[in-house]
Amino acid sequence: MSQSVRLAILGATGAVGTEILELLIQRQFPLSSLKLLASSRSAGKTLTFGGETLEIEAVNENSFRDVDIVLASAGGSTSKAWAKTIVNSGATMIDNSSAFRMDAGVPLVVPEINPGSVASHRGIIANPNCTTILLGVAIWPLHQVQPLKRVVVSTYQSASGAGARAMEEVKNQARAILDGKNPPTESFPYPLAFNLFPHNTPINEAGYCEEEMKMVNETRKIFNEPDLKLSATCVRVPVLRAHSEAVNLEFARPFPVSLARELIQKAPGVQLVENWQKNYFPMPIDATGKDDVLVGRIRQDLSNENGLELWLCGDQIRKGAALNAVQIAELLVKKNLVRPRVVSL
């Protein structure tokens, strides 16, 4: 990467924002300048980056005038509020919220799956939902060889999906319960420590929650398979970081388990983790802090000769959010697409 980039992180103090800072250093992202933006509540605070102390600025109308790429991880309402300003300033926004994911004119990108989609951006590129990214990276190598007919997935989602405060809340809940006290609940509607519950996003008339429909609609868009049959059940579990998913895949004809393992081993962004003798397969503690999605326990579906089962774990904050966004930024630099084609909203 020869092009130097003027980068801004919107939502720099959050769990994803601080992870982005680490990744920029680790991946030697070509920065010419870095601006840390957040709400007025965080203005004046500092974060360390590469041995330097950077001050956080309150986002305002002039924040993006000298910026090429904005990595936005401050929530959907913030992304919507600043999108026009960002694009009209000439910058490209890589948005980690759900605000623009299903907009027809906004590419929804997982670099291991549809890197070419970034070429169609008009100032905004959307980062998919964390569970969608992890699922997609794991099953795309198989879909390329033999198209999927149906996907049934159950997720086991950690507290990190709700941010840094939620992770801290689970720790406080565990301490309270062990001390015989009532656990505090602020980030979640129910105690998550020593408990689990279906994902607490709004439920539609069909009985599916918003998180489950994100997986359905986003996977179809990323795969460019609008009719792909996919059903999801999303569950919050008392794990601090890294999501897990149990996945059932159906194809038009039998898919050899040996071929599936071979494809997973060769595919970018995934790592095969299987020790059948020790009953050792991907776990959240193994996936935490890792770039790759860990995949294992690949087996024939006993109920369907055309079916496969697999299990995966992936770091929600890393590949499920921060890393995917940084990889998109890297694609823009590599393809010389940093500046949007249309700079007017």
The per-residue pLDDT for range 20-72, each reduced to its tens digit, is: 999 999 999 999 999 999 988 888 899 999 889 999 999 999 999 999 999 99
Q: Are 269 and 319 in contact (CB under 8 A)?
A: yes
Domain residue extents for the chain: 5-127+321-334, 131-319
Strand partners, 248: 152, 309
* Fold entry, domain 131-319: Dihydrodipicolinate Reductase; domain 2 (3.30.360)
Q: Are 108 and 128 in contact (CB under 8 A)?
A: yes
The strand pair at 229-236 and 148-157 is best described as parallel
- Arithmetic mean of pLDDT over the chain: 95
Q: What single letter denotes the amino acid at residue 291? A: D
pLDDT at 1: 45
For domain 5-127+321-334, give the CATH number.
Answer: 3.40.50.720
pLDDT at 25: 96
Nearest by Cα to 12 from 54, 60, 66, 68: 54
User: Tokens 């809340």 sit at which residue?
Assistant: 169
pLDDT at 2: 55
Q: How far is CA 317 from CA 12, 101, 159, 321, in A?
A: 13, 18, 10, 5
Q: pTM of the prediction? A: 0.95
The per-residue pLDDT for range 128-143, each reduced to its tens digit, is: 999 999 999 999 999 9
Question: Nearest 10 degrees: CA dihedral of 292, 334, 6, 125?
Answer: -70
End-to-end CA distance of the chain: 29
Fold matches, 5-127+321-334 and 131-319: no
Distance CA 190, CA 206 (A): 23
Two tokens, residue 275: 């020790």
The per-residue pLDDT for range 279-332, each reduced to its tens digit, is: 999 999 999 999 999 999 999 999 999 999 999 999 999 999 999 999 999 999
Distance CA 344, CA 338 (A): 15
The per-residue pLDDT for range 65-89, each reduced to its tens digit, is: 999 999 999 999 999 999 999 999 9
Given a cut of 90, whether residue 340 has pLDDT beyond it is: no
Beta strands in the chain (DSSP E): 5-10, 31-38, 46-49, 52-55, 57-58, 69-72, 92-95, 124-126, 148-157, 197-198, 229-236, 243-251, 270-272, 293-300, 307-314
If you average pLDDT over residues 213-228, what whole number do you get?
98
Q: Are 56 and 12 in contact (CB under 8 A)?
A: yes
Distance CA 253, CA 272 (A): 23
Active site members? 130, 243
Give buried/exposed letters for 271-286 (b at 16+ CB in 10 A, else e): bbbbeeeeeebbbbeb
pLDDT at 42: 86
